[in-house]
């Protein structure tokens, strides 16, 4: 039995939370390795809906260790809020069940202020960020002025860093962006208070993973966002500021590449994206509305309506290469029910030429038109299916087309938000 990395293959919101929750049954340790509370991972368990932004989706299981790796940017207020909410729902969160890497960078109030003020200043040209301060926090990490979880344990260091950072941030906020400057004292006070609650969770996550490897306990790596939001490989600049690709599980959790195991790519049966940026198969017609309404495509983090379109396998094929995918989990197949004809984008056409991977230039991408393979749809509600044989032939053909065009096997098919609304075709843990 090996480990499994779950990544999004599109622009996020593929249903990673549900897939991670499902696989957690077989894991001992679940670890987030990048992104922050821009993520919104939804689980439906026992008829109850839970949305996680920072805590790994495995927390609903009693006997699992959940880790927030060094590659995650952590807003301590959001983390504590999430812990309180779980406690309120009767789920115990204690050190032992949850740990935070001492090397994880913290989102500070000035990161959120900068994110919001910059987006406002951009007007129509805005990226459509989640406004959670993700970009500015990763910027500070790269600029080597970031504040890390370990700094919460050293009040002097924390104070010195907040004061020094605020000099520059306040100048930029006030003089360039016309936003309100922030006071170091109140930030220090609130972060010291939060430090008190968080200190027993802060540890060396990499060592916990090493122990798990030595004891042959399975690790599940929970990706956030999606491959085409990757700051290197995505639709730059309409991307997030981290690397959601599978390789980041190593740097963002503190583990070597040979321990990653099976790389599972989550593919929504159609495409969505929230925020600005190119989207070749976008539908602004009734079919797009069908997908949004049937799929309840409204952001789990910001509540924004998601842009919807046909399944783009150019995007998924790129993800297969960029992540080294072993298999696919197809989600939300049920949402396609009721459509007469289904379309799958198998390539792009650009000024008479066929393009089979997503161009880096946005100008070139704007000229790309989708080449569709059409397939008949189905009328039935498939959300009760638990085996492939219970799906209508058209739905099975749709899955076969995905396998043929991507060259990858499908290990999981999801036909509804609940844990049990799933067809299992393979076991990623036993196929490293
Ligand atoms: P994530 O960010 O990749 O974890 O995905 P989100 O949680 O943001 O969005 C996926 C949404 O689809 C959530 O509301 C899930 O409850 C829901 N969902 C997941 N799988 C299925 C499925 O197979 N069918 C339907 N109808 N909903 C699903
Ligand atoms: P999960 O993990 C979908 C998008 C934002 C915006 C861009 C940059 O739930 O799949 P940021 O706040 O990261 O600087 O915003 O990235 N984005 C997501 N879209 N799902 C997510 O996470 C996302 N996280 C960020 O909408 O377009
Ligand atoms: Mg989401």
Residues, the chain, total?
Answer: 432
Read off the pLDDT of residues 337-380 as tens digits, 9 standing for 90 and up.
999 999 999 999 999 999 999 999 999 999 999 999 999 999 99
pLDDT band at 299 (very low <50, low <70, confident <90, very high): confident
13 is catalytic: yes
- pLDDT > 90? residue 304: no
For the Cβ of 347 lying below 6 angstroms from any atom of ligand 1, the answer is no
Report the alpha-carbon distance of residue 106 to residue 202 in Å, rounded: 12
Beta partners for residue 307, in sequence order: 273
* Cβ pair 359, 318 in contact under 8 A: no
Domain parsing of the chain, residue ranges? 4-101+202-262, 105-198, 267-424
For the Cβ of 335 lying below 6 angstroms from any atom of ligand 1, the answer is yes
Q: Which of 252, 257, 251, 248 is nearest to 230 (CA)?
A: 248
Question: Which residues lie closer than 8 Å to 412 by C-beta, 6 or more apart?
Answer: 19, 22, 264, 328, 329, 330, 422, 423, 424, 425, 426
Residue 303 has what pLDDT?
84
Q: Which residues line ligand 2 (CB under 6 A)?
A: 8, 11-13, 38-41, 127-130, 132, 134-135, 224-226, 229, 240-241, 274-275
51 exposed, middle or buried (CB, 10 Å; 0-12, 13-18, 19+)? Answer: middle
Share of the chain above pLDDT 70, in %: 100
With the C-alpha atoms ordered 75, 20, 225, 309, is the resulting torsion angle positive or negative?
negative
Residue 432 has what pLDDT?
64
CA of 265 to the centre of ligand 1 (A): 14
CA of 215 to the centre of ligand 3 (A): 32
Q: What is the DSSP letter of 270?
A: S
- Spell out the SS3 assignment of 192-204: HHHHHHHHHHEEC
Share of the chain above pLDDT 90, in %: 96
Domain spanning 105-198, CATH architecture: Orthogonal Bundle (1.10)
Q: Which of 422, 423, 335, 419 is nearest to 49 (CA)?
A: 419
Supply 201's token pair: 């969770």
Alpha carbon distance, N-terminus to C-terminus of the chain: 7
Report the alpha-carbon distance of residue 118 to residue 141 in Å, rounded: 18
For the Cβ of 147 lying below 6 angstroms from any atom of ligand 1, the answer is no
pTM summary value: 0.98
Atom of ligand 1 at shortest range from CA of 51: 7
Read off the pLDDT of residues 168-219 as tens digits, 9 standing for 90 and up.
999 999 999 999 999 999 999 999 999 999 999 999 999 999 999 999 999 9
Q: Among the bound ligands, name the one nearest to the CA of residue 298.
A: 1
CA distances from 167 to 33, 121, 177 (A): 31, 21, 15
Residue 1 has what pLDDT?
66
CA of 251 to the centre of ligand 1 (A): 27
Report the alpha-carbon distance of residue 226 to residue 223 in Å, rounded: 8
Report the alpha-carbon distance of residue 293 to residue 306 in Å, rounded: 10
Atom of ligand 2 at shortest range from CA of 244: 2
Report the alpha-carbon distance of residue 412 to residue 325 in Å, rounded: 14
CA distances from 79 to 82, 262, 355 (A): 5, 29, 43
Residue nearest to atom 25 of ligand 2 (CA): 38
CATH 3.40.50.720 holds for 267-424: no
Q: What is the mean pLDDT of residues 99-110?
A: 98
Supply 77's token pair: 């207020």
Residue 302 has what pLDDT?
79
Residue 57 has what pLDDT?
86
* Cβ pair 346, 384 in contact under 8 A: no
From the list 21, 41, 228, 230, the catalytic residue is: 41
Report the alpha-carbon distance of residue 381 to residue 338 in Å, rounded: 8
Q: Which of 329, 283, 328 is nearest to 306 (CA)?
A: 283
Q: What is the mean pLDDT of residues 414-428?
A: 97
4-101+202-262 belongs to which CATH class?
alpha beta
Residue 136 has what pLDDT?
98
Read off the pLDDT of residues 151-177 as tens digits, 9 standing for 90 and up.
999 999 999 999 999 999 999 999 999
Q: Which of 44, 110, 47, 55 is nearest to 79 (CA)?
A: 55
For the Cβ of 332 lying below 6 angstroms from any atom of ligand 1, the answer is yes
**Average pLDDT of the chain to the nearest whole number:** 96
pLDDT band at 301 (very low <50, low <70, confident <90, very high): confident
For the Cβ of 38 lying below 6 angstroms from any atom of ligand 1, the answer is no
- Mutation probe of ligand 2 site: the residue of 225, 245, 279, 303 with most atoms within 8 A of C-beta: 225
Residue nearest to atom 3 of ligand 2 (CA): 12
152-188 exposure pattern, b = at least 16 Cβ within 10 A, e = fewer: beeeeebbebbeebbeebbebbeeeeebeebebeebb
Kindly provide the residue ranges of all beta strands, DSSP E only, lying in 84-231, ordered along the sequence. 98-101, 105-106, 202-203, 219-222
84 is catalytic: no
CA of 268 to the centre of ligand 1 (A): 9
Residue nearest to atom 11 of ligand 2 (CA): 129
């Amino acid at each position: 039995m090996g480990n499994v990395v779950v990544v999004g293959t599109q622009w996020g919101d593929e249903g990673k939370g549900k897939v991670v929750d499902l696989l957690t049954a077989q894991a001992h340790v679940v670890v987030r390795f990048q992104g922050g509370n821009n993520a919104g991972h939804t689980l439906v368990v026992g008829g109850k809906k839970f949305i996680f932004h920072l805590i790994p989706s495995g927390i609903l299981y009693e006997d699992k260790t959940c880790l927030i790796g060094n590659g995650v940017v952590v807003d301590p207020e959001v983390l504590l809020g999430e812990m309180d909410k779980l406690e309120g729902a009767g789920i115990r969160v204690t050190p032992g069940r949850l740990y935070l890497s001492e090397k994880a960078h913290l989102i500070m109030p000035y990161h959120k202020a900068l994110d919001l003020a910059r987006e406002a200043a951009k007007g129509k040209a805005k990226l459509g960020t989640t406004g959670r301060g993700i970009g500015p926090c990763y910027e500070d990490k790269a600029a080597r002025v970031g504040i890390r979880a370990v700094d919460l344990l050293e009040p002097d260091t924390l104070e010195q860093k907040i004061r020094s950072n605020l000099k520059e941030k306040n100048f930029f906020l006030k003089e360039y962006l016309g936003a309100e400057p922030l006071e170091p004292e109140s930030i220090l006070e609130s972060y010291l208070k939060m430090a008190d609650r968080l200190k027993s969770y802060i540890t060396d996550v990499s060592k916990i993973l090493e122990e798990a490897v030595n004891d042959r306990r399975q690790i599940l790596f929970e990706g956030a966002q999606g491959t085409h939001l990757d700051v290197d490989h995505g639709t730059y600049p309409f991307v997030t500021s981290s690397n959601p690709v599978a390789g980041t599980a190593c740097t963002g959790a503190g583990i070597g590449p040979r321990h990653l195991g099976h790389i599972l790519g989550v593919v929504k049966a159609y495409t969505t994206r929230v925020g600005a940026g190119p989207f070749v198969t976008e539908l602004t017609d009734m079919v797009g509305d069908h997908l949004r309404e049937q799929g309840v495509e409204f952001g789990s983090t910001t509540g924004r309506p998601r842009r919807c379109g046909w399944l783009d396998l150019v995007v998924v094929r790129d993800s297969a290469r960029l992540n080294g995918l072993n298999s696919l989990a197809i989600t939300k197949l049920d949402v396609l029910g009721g459509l007469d004809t289904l379309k799958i984008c198998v390539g792009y056409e650009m000024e008479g030429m066929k393009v089979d991977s997503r161009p880096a230039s946005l100008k070139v991408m704007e000229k790309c038109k989708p080449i569709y393979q059409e397939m008949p749809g189905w009328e039935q509600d498939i959300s009760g299916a638990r085996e492939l044989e219970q799906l209508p032939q058209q739905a099975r053909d749709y899955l076969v087309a995905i396998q043929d065009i991507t060259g990858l096997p499908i290990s999981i098919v999801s036909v509804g938000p609940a844990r049990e609304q799933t067809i299992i075709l393979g076991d990623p843990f036993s196929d490293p």
